[in-house]
């Protein structure tokens, strides 16, 4: 059974894009050439959101926060689906 499209998917569609013509289809922040993975890599390395935004000025703060919120929601959904 297919799940109906959720608001979260629409939010992701508004901030993340993928195209073969841009970095061979790597998911990037919309209207940039900055891979979303770069944000995760920065945070994993202990760098701040501000450091990421300083190094990638084409990414808006709102985009980065929306991406993190979407990742959080996805993680929490998976935790709730995980069998106890």
pLDDT at 80: 75
pLDDT at 82: 67
CB 26 within 8 A of CB 35: yes
Divide the 84 residues of the chain into consecutive groups of 10 and give the mean pLDDT of each group.
Answer: 45 85 95 97 98 98 95 87 69
CA distance 30 to 17: 5
CB 14 within 8 A of CB 30: yes
pTM of the model: 0.77
- Domain ranges for the chain: 8-72
Top-level class of domain 8-72: mainly alpha
């Amino acid at each position: 059974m297919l799940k109906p499209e959720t608001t979260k998917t629409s939010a992701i569609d508004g901030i993340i894009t993928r195209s073969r013509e841009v970095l061979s289809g790597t998911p990037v922040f919309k209207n940039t050439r900055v891979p979303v993975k770069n944000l995760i890599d920065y945070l994993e390395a202990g760098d701040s959101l501000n450091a990421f935004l300083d190094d990638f000025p084409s990414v808006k703060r709102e985009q980065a926060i929306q991406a993190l919120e979407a990742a959080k929601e996805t993680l929490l959904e998976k935790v709730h689906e995980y069998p106890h």
